[in-house]
Amino acid sequence: MKLTGAEILIKMIKEQGVRTVFGYPGGATIDIYDELAGHDDLRHVLVRHEQGAVHAADAYARAGSCVGVALVTSGPGATNTVTGIASAYMDSIPVVIFTGQVPTALIGNDAFQEVDIVGITRPCTKHNYLVKDVKDLARTVKEAFFLANSGRPGPVLVDLPKDVVQSVTEFVEPGKISLKTYKPTYKPNKKQVAKVVDLIAKAEKPLIFAGGGVVLSEASEELTKFSRLTNTPVTASLMGLGSFPGNDPLWLGMPGMHGTYRANMSIGECDLMIAVGVRFDDRVTGKVETFAPNADIVQIDIDPTSIHKNIPVSCPIVGDCKETLTMLNKMVAKADKELVCPERIGWLSTINDWKSTTPLRYEQTEDVIKPQYVIERLNELTDGETIITTEVGQNQMWTAQFFHFDKPNHFITSGGLGVMGFGLPAAIGAKAARPDKTVIDIAGDGSIQMNIQELMTAVESDFPVKIVILNNGCLGMVRQWQELFYDKNYSSTLLENSPDFIKIAEAYGAKGLKCTRPDQVDQTLKEGLSFPGTVIMEFKVEEAECVYPMVPAGRAITEMILV
């Protein structure tokens, strides 16, 4: 059976179980789009910017627990994907990006819309390919999906010269992918896991620190079981939110720069930390020398390069989070229950004191809407069942603090790279993966404008996402730093001339709602959530409101600014 490169590409994509592709066509990919038009079982979502395609594919992968796919043209089409690729790389999200390229004979000649996207993305992809022979295409595609979704997941880029896509060859089904130099370790060392049981038995103040690896490995049930078996409290990084029920008595909230008081103090006081699927990001650790100073640290991660990378650990375990926790739970169940699961009255009492004396707080008055209030009401009205995406900044941190996530993959945000403009295309991707779910993007008035053109994607493609804009008239997080550390020199952070978001919504064919008073918040949210299409809900909130607690740069995470 002879096929063109374009036919092979579409055939192999479908064989990997892909049903949705996010993309934007161009001259270098026109043959692929010509072939794509004949496949009704493969939906193409036409975005309005290539960055949006990768963010949407990223969220689609998370919400659908699969590999996301983006398809773009050469040159600027390819370079526009770099931010999305870097974000997926930092957050370990399985995405395969197909980029068009000039014909092989023109590579290196500065041809029209030529760029070395393989070289550009080498530092921010798990792996990438330049396909030079159509005979290699089928195996390359299958290998790209295998790499993206195995071991520590990540983005893989496949660059497709136009002549390769147009060439014809005898199609040969590639066999099972097996790479000599790539053998991820899924099963942990039993002796190392047994050490964790011994450490739990000796510990008086144990703490579990969960990260995005728990979500990615679908280990939330095993984590919850482990916590309850050992009566050990849990904190989770931004990427780990939802890996442990936010309504559980053992839940501490998020730690770090804007973490809860009890989570940060627990890290400072614990004598055993069991870190599962975390890489100890600087926003979590604060001053490294003071991080968990009294604790033996266990680090469980499928990526051996993440262990000891930022924080020295006493018990390293290389392995898949789910397999490791499953083994650990079996060992704990067989151990002396009085040793591994005491009541921990003193430790849990101390944590409850921290929670009751220094909770997350804000004061809602009758005059102006507090952003935290909007998120709390949203949490109550949706009963925690919605998928939340966010932009980056204060809106992201308030969401992490005041929306309680009980399930994995219900909080989708750009954690490591912190991309403004992530939330709207991410909401589209999440809705494409989970049409049964209400999907809400919580945004700021600055960040929403980064990719606001994707409103057209949502409306045209019938993805009725909801956008909640917390409009404080400024770039809030930078303004907060200027207030606290730069003598209130608000340089280039006050957005004195913002667009009319209601008119923008209407121009794109969406609905716009505006709320300016606290007593209107519930009504606005209910109307927006019940509207069958895409809607922007704009809330005019307190400009000077800051995110607290806050750990200043270079300080220990127990040294928090509280008000």
| Phi and psi, residue 324, nearest 5° | -70, -45
**Residue 477 is a catalytic residue:** yes
Whole-number Å distance between alpha carbons of 518 and 362 = 14
Largest Cα–Cα separation, the chain: 72
500, pLDDT greater than 90: yes
- Name the band, by pLDDT with cuts 50, 70 and 90, for residue 563: confident
206, pLDDT greater than 90: yes
State the amino acid at position 205 in one-letter form: K
Counting residues of the chain whose pLDDT is more than 90, the rounded percentage is: 98
Whole-number Å distance between alpha carbons of 560 and 265 = 10
Mean of the per-residue pLDDT values of the chain:
97
- Closest to 535 measured CA to CA, from 459, 444, 480, 476: 459
DSSP letter for 443, please: E
Q: Is the peptide bond before 518 cis (omega within 30 degrees of 0)?
A: no
pLDDT digits (tens, 9 = 90+) for 413-427: 999 999 999 999 999
Whole-number Å distance between alpha carbons of 385 and 152 = 28
Q: Which residue has the tokens 């709207």?
A: 424
Average pLDDT, integer, range 235-255: 97
Catalytic residue among 477, 537, 550, 560: 477
Q: Going from the N-terminus, what domains does the chain have, and what CATH number goes with each?
A: 2-170 (3.40.50.970), 190-357 (3.40.50.1220), 371-540 (3.40.50.970)
100, pLDDT greater than 90: yes
- Name the band, by pLDDT with cuts 50, 70 and 90, for residue 442: very high
Helix, strand, or coil (residue 412): strand
pLDDT digits (tens, 9 = 90+) for 293-313: 999 999 999 999 999 999 999
Angle at 219 between CA 343 and CA 20, to 5 degrees: 150
Helix, strand, or coil (residue 440): strand
Whole-number Cα distances in Å, 513 to 150, 335, 524: 43, 57, 7
- Closest to 79 measured CA to CA, from 157, 162, 163: 157
DSSP-derived pairing of the beta strands 2-4 and 168-170: antiparallel
Catalytic residue among 11, 126, 142, 162: 162
Catalytic residue among 7, 35, 50, 545: 50
* pLDDT for position 39: 97
- Sign of the four-CA dihedral 378, 548, 213, 391: positive
Whole-number Cα distances in Å, 79 to 26, 133, 359, 434, 551: 13, 23, 44, 29, 35
Whole-number Å distance between alpha carbons of 56 and 23 = 10
286, pLDDT greater than 90: yes
- Closest to 524 measured CA to CA, from 377, 372, 379: 377
Tell if the pTM clears 0.85, that is, is over it: yes
* pLDDT for position 71: 98
- Name the band, by pLDDT with cuts 50, 70 and 90, for residue 383: confident
- Name the band, by pLDDT with cuts 50, 70 and 90, for residue 384: confident
| Phi and psi, residue 439, nearest 5° | -120, 130
**Residue 370 is a catalytic residue:** no
* pLDDT for position 63: 98
Tokens found for residue 335? 């151990």
Tokens found for residue 7? 């036919």
- Closest to 85 measured CA to CA, from 98, 101, 66, 103: 98
Whole-number Å distance between alpha carbons of 473 and 481 = 16
Region of residue 6 (left: phi > 0; alpha: psi -120 to 50; beta: else): alpha
Helix, strand, or coil (residue 536): strand
Residues 443, 472 contacting (CB under 8 angstroms): no
Q: What residues does 425 pair with on adjacent strands?
A: none
Residues 451, 426 contacting (CB under 8 angstroms): no
Whole-number Å distance between alpha carbons of 376 and 80 = 35
Whole-number Å distance between alpha carbons of 328 and 224 = 12
Catalytic residue among 113, 166, 192, 520: 113
**Residue 112 is a catalytic residue:** yes
385, pLDDT greater than 90: no
Whole-number Å distance between alpha carbons of 166 and 178 = 28
* pLDDT for position 397: 98
HSE at residue 523, side-chain half, CA atoms within 13 A, is 8
Whole-number Å distance between alpha carbons of 375 and 217 = 28
Catalytic residue among 14, 112, 330, 506: 112
| Phi and psi, residue 41, nearest 5° | -90, 5
**Residue 166 is a catalytic residue:** no
